[in-house]
Amino acid sequence: MTSDLFNNFADGGVGNVQTGEGVDLKKALLSKLKEIYNNLDSPALREVIEKCELEEFEDKVVIRVPDEYCKFAFLKEIYPRLKSEFNVPLPVLTPSEDIVFELSPKYTFKNFIVGKGNVYAVRACQVAVENLRRKSLPFNPIFIYGKVGVGKTHLLQATGNKALEKGFKVVYRSSIDFAEEVVSALKEGSIGYLREFYKNVDVLLIDDIQFMAGKERTQLEFFNIFNHLYQNNKLVVIASDRPPKRLKDIMDRLVNRFEGGLVTELKIDEVVKKAIIREKLIIYGMPVDEGIIEYIAQNTGDNVREIEGFIARLKIEEPKGEKLGPALKTPSPEEILKVVSDYYGIPKGKLLKKTRNRKISLARQVAIYLIRELCGLPLAKIGRIFGVTDHTSVLYAIKKISAMIKEDNEFSSEVDFLKRRLNL
Ligand code: ADP
Ligand code: MG
């Protein structure tokens, strides 16, 4: 047999295993996989087994398959034979899926600056983690809301990292990724596995819950998982851009659950803001001077990403000996795309293609709006940049964004912020 899976293991592929349980589980899995492999008649299915790898994390083993096809075949034909003998979650993942590795160690409580505007939320998360082993959590779920760039993701991740450090099973998910997982699990018939996976975590962190809007099936799956975790005293922390009551197209049952926990707003106050500016100046190797801190504080909003962008720009301007402060100019479509792409964390290539993904589509529409407003290009030309032949969708994007700016203050300040980044 030429399987990499079995050879690696025999060659000491387990040498880097960190936990005893992981090794045992991996060994047991491997021997069961060998048995299944030897009893398989289909060469194609044998190949699927040969191509997969076993990865340990904490006390879990992840079955890594190379692509969607292998995942489908594995879940349909091999997984049922395997699962009957193992009473633990066995995630089967393609390389692009990461359930257990989504926490980034760079976000911790240690590097989170605390002040009046965020102390309550921070303490709530810390106390919850400290109480994870207790019979009942002081508050559950914790619902953190706040504007863009006030540290929601950082706080969620810090909570996760702390819990991970204490040996708990932690899953961090943006609601977009969760929804995608639900959809593909339904398609592949692996929803049972997905439920089981989520019901086995100690801490579930769901970021940007507002993007679950309108996704009924996803909400239903989340509701069931949530109830299970809640009843078993497992912590759920949710981040949102608005309070539960203002969530649109989210089922009442879920909103009620959120309101039944601890709901707290995350804000950046002046003291925190200045402390963050000071820290960022140090990181960027710039002079830390009260005057500069004051100048930056006055020229930026309560959005750490904006503050960072402002400092980064000062850093670029510095060697040219230009005066500090914004200069008026007309940005190019290219510059606008870059700023929008950086801000939303969506690659430029994705902004240029039509998509059904709401988050990407909104960012695309914002880019279209800004290009029209700031560069004044004709609709047809903007259409060509965004790969559409008729310009009705360009017009639609501009109208939609203009209306949103009028109706939604938070969104309006987001667009203002983007304009400021473009030096306007
Ligand atoms: P949100 O999720 O609310 O949009 P993020 O958590 O992504 O915001 O924060 C944006 C950036 O600001 C991140 O780099 C984060 O580390 C930093 N940040 C936010 N709040 C703080 C804070 N209180 N202390 C230190 N860094 C912060
Ligand atoms: Mg965030």
Which ligand is closest in space to the CA of residue 359?
2
**Residue in 148, 173, 304 to alter for ligand 1 test, most ligand atoms within 8 A of Cβ:** 304
Calculate the alpha carbon distances from 74 to 57, 77, 273 in Å.
Answer: 21, 6, 50
Report how far residue 99's alpha carbon sits from residue 171's, in angstroms, rounded to the nearest whole number: 7
- Report how far ligand 1's centroid is from the alpha carbon of 344 (Å): 14
Which residue has a Cα nearest atom 1 of ligand 1?
A: 149
pLDDT value, residue 322: 42
C-alpha 55 chain-centroid distance? 22
Residue nearest to atom 25 of ligand 1 (CA): 112
Question: What atom of ligand 1 comes closest to residue 266's alpha carbon?
Answer: 3
Ligand 1 atom with the smallest distance to the CA of 304 is 12
Q: Cα–Cα distance between 114 and 58 in angstroms, integer?
A: 30
Q: State the pLDDT at residue 157.
A: 94
From the list 303, 224, 257, 251, the residue with the least C-alpha distance to 143 is 257
Peptide bond into 244 cis (omega under 30): no
Distance from first CA to last CA of the chain, Å, rounded? 65
Question: Which residue's alpha carbon is at the smallest distance from atom 5 of ligand 1?
Answer: 151
Residue-level pLDDT at 423: 66
Collapse the DSSP code of 330 into the 3-class scheme (helix H, G, I; strand E, B; otherwise coil) and give the result.
coil
Going residue by residue through the chain (424 aa), what tens digit of pLDDT does each one get? 444 566 544 433 332 323 345 568 888 999 999 999 999 998 889 999 998 888 876 567 888 888 777 887 888 889 888 877 887 767 777 765 544 347 788 889 998 999 999 999 999 999 999 999 988 899 999 999 999 889 999 999 999 999 999 989 999 998 878 988 898 889 888 899 999 999 999 999 999 899 899 999 999 999 999 999 999 999 999 999 999 999 999 999 999 999 999 999 999 999 999 999 998 888 888 888 888 999 999 999 888 878 888 888 887 766 544 444 444 467 888 989 999 998 888 898 899 988 888 889 999 999 999 998 888 778 888 888 998 887 788 888 988 998 898 888 888 888 988 888 886 6
User: What is the C-alpha to C-alpha distance for residues 81 and 8, in angstroms, rounded to an integer?
Assistant: 23
Q: Is 128 left (phi over 0), alpha (psi -120 to 50) or beta?
A: alpha
Q: Are 270 and 298 in contact, with CB atoms under 8 Å apart?
A: no
**Token duo for residue 258:** 């959120």
Whether 388 contacts 355, CB under 8 Å: no
- Read off the DSSP letter of residue 211: G
- Distance, in Å, from the CA atom of 276 to the CA atom of 111, rounded to the nearest integer, reads 10
- In angstroms, the CA 404 to CA 398 distance is 10
Instruction: Kindly report whether the global pTM for this prediction surpasses the value 0.85.
Output: no
Best mutation site among 153, 154, 276, 305 for ligand 1 pocket (most ligand atoms within 8 Å of CB): 154
Environment class of residue 263 by beta-carbon count within 10 Å: exposed (0-12), middle (13-18) or buried (19+)?
buried
List ligand 1's pocket residues with C-beta within 6 A. Answer: 107, 111-113, 118, 146, 148-154, 272, 276, 304-305
What's the CA-to-centroid distance between 300 and ligand 1, angstroms? 15
- Given this model, what pLDDT does residue 1 score? 42
Residue bearing the CA closest to ligand 1, atom 23:
113
